[in-house]
């Protein structure tokens, strides 16, 4: 019986289960022999059934025992109840206080209704994945805002970089033992460009591209916002003597750090428009803790490996190799200390894994939604409509062209409808004015 699904239990299997739960012979006889109750009918029992005959005629001990056994059986077989049409998936989210099938105010005659997390599919994949383009737009604006803040902070820390004559490079195990490779930093940025190209290809063909873009914008923005704080609070000395870094001379009195805001904004725009890349002519100093290049390389690597099929071993190995070699090139160019790249890799990878662990297992946060909203506000907002793992499903090129054409066609239909409504409105106003004029002439 234990190997059978509850739906497949026969009457004899049900009798054995009732005996195991400690119900008396009289109760088993009434339920199974007199009323022919099999397994699936126990899944269909409701609060009203317990208040009606024959269950209401049972002795109190057997009624309580049967109630607890049925509740546990129903909780353990939610997927079977869904397939039988006994319960439906509720449209709940992290913002909905009642994350259960039964409302919090619904009480039975026997005990308070249980909170039950919504079931996922057999493999844990999400059963509803709305694109929610407005959330994508918000995450994009969030990333743009953070990158502007980052560029502005980089201008400030560049002016505060310690004097190289006073503060030589700090001792570093890697930098002290690996000679400078002048072209290494360019190779790091080339590796990042290749990873970005691969990621863009994944986005083009992935069916859930809007969710993927939303996640990469949200995670990247959060990591770079944290980087702004670490860069600003502590200024490390320049890691290599080959770097030409000179702090801006700031004197006391009327000259203040933020006095020339326009100049700083102009410099920040140069950094922002160039993406902070040396191959784009951007050279900055002081932005060491932690490495932004390592963040970009690691984030792209993790997103590519997460949202491509598991059997693409060559691709995953390639992205990991490019990630590791990119980090090596950063250190070989003596552009960052070893601690900079280590902290960057650790923070980026942990944040990525924590975010996806929570989003893939919404049951972990459903019961504590208030704390989730306080400590993870962005996660609570962006992932409120995702109830499981985002499957790696892809569109064909013809499917992508068809989708684009459908979007264009819908927009054209909306424009035609809008133009038609405008013409009707203008015609109505004209007819109304004409009628008013005629009435005025008749009255006169």
Domain extents for the chain?
A: 6-84, 133-246+255-383
Catalytic residue among 158, 336, 356, 387: 336
- How do residues 395-435 score in pLDDT, each as one tens digit? 888 877 877 777 787 778 878 887 777 777 766 666 666 66
Q: What is the reported pLDDT for 118?
A: 46
Whole-angstrom CA distances from 92 to 28, 115, 357, 382 are: 39, 13, 19, 14
Q: Is the pLDDT of residue 43 over 90?
A: no
316 labelled catalytic: no
Q: What share of the chain is helix, strand, coil (3-state, %, to 5)?
A: 60, 0, 35
106 labelled catalytic: no
Q: What is the reported pLDDT for 152?
A: 93
Q: Is 256 left (phi over 0), alpha (psi -120 to 50) or beta?
A: beta
Catalytic residue among 293, 334, 356, 387: 293
- Mean of the pLDDT values across residues 229-245? 88
- How do residues 243-291 score in pLDDT, each as one tens digit? 888 766 554 444 554 567 888 888 899 999 988 888 888 888 888 989 9
Whole-angstrom CA distances from 191 to 26, 227, 255, 318, 335 are: 76, 22, 42, 11, 16
- How do residues 199-226 score in pLDDT, each as one tens digit? 999 999 998 999 999 999 999 999 999 9
Quick one: pLDDT band at residue 101, thresholds 50, 70, 90? very low
Hey, what are 328's tokens?
């090596």
The values of phi and psi at residue 388, to 5°, are 175, -160
DSSP-assigned states of every residue in 28-41: HIIIIIIS---HHH
Tell which CATH classification among 1.10.150.50, 3.40.50.2300, 1.20.1250.20, 2.40.160.60 matches the domain 6-84: 1.10.150.50
Catalytic residue among 62, 172, 287, 340: 340
293 labelled catalytic: yes
Q: Is the pLDDT of residue 359 over 50?
A: yes
- How do residues 168-200 score in pLDDT, each as one tens digit? 899 999 999 999 999 999 999 999 999 999 999
């Amino acid at each position: 019986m234990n190997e059978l699904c509850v739906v497949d239990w026969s009457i004899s299997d049900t009798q054995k289960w009732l005996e195991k739960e400690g119900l008396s012979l009289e109760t088993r006889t009434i339920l199974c022999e007199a009323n022919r109750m099999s397994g699936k009918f126990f899944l269909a029992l409701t609060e009203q059934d317990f208040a009606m005959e024959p269950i209401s005629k049972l002795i109190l001990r057997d009624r309580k025992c049967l109630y607890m056994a049925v509740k546990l059986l129903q909780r353990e077989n939610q997927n079977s109840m869904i397939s039988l049409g006994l319960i439906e998936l509720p449209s709940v989210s992290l913002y909905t206080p009642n994350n259960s099938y039964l409302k919090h105010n619904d009480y039975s005659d026997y005990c308070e209704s249980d909170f039950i997390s919504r079931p996922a599919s057999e493999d844990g994949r999400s059963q509803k994945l709305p694109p929610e383009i407005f959330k994508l737009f918000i995450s994009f604006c969030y990333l743009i805002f953070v990158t502007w803040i980052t560029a502005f902070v980089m201008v400030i820390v560049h002016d505060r970089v310690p004097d190289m004559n006073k503060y030589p490079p700090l001792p570093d195990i890697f930098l002290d033992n690996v000679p400078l490779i002048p072209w290494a930093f360019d190779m790091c940025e080339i590796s990042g460009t290749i990873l970005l190209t691969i990621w863009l290809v994944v986005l083009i063909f992935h069916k859930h591209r809007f969710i993927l873009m939303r996640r990469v914008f949200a995670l990247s923005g959060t990591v770079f916002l944290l980087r702004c704080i670490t860069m600003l609070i502590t200024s490390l000395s320049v890691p290599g003597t080959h770097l030409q870094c000179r702090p801006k001379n700031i004197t006391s009195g009327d000259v203040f750090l933020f006095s020339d805001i326009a100049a700083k904004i102009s410099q920040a725009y140069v950094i922002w428009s160039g993406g902070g890349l040396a191959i784009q002519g951007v050279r900055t100093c002081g932005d060491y803790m932690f490495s932004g290049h390592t963040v970009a390389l690691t984030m792209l690597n993790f997103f590519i490996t997460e949202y491509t099929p598991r059997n693409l071993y060559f691709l995953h190995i390639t992205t990991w190799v490019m990630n590791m070699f990119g980090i090596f090139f950063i250190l070989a160019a003596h552009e960052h200390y070893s601690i900079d790249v280590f902290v960057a890799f650790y923070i980026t990878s942990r944040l990525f894994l924590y975010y996806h662990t929570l989003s893939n297992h919404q049951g972990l946060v459903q019961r504590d939604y208030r704390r989730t909203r306080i400590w993870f506000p962005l996660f609570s907002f962006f992932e409120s409509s995702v109830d499981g793992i985002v499957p790696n499903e892809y569109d064909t090129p013809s499917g992508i062209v068809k989708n684009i054409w459908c979007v264009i066609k819908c927009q054209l239909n909306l424009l035609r409808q809008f133009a038609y409504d405008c013409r009707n409105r203008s015609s109505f106003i004209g007819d109304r004015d004409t009628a008013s004029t005629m009435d005025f002439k008749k009255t006169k």
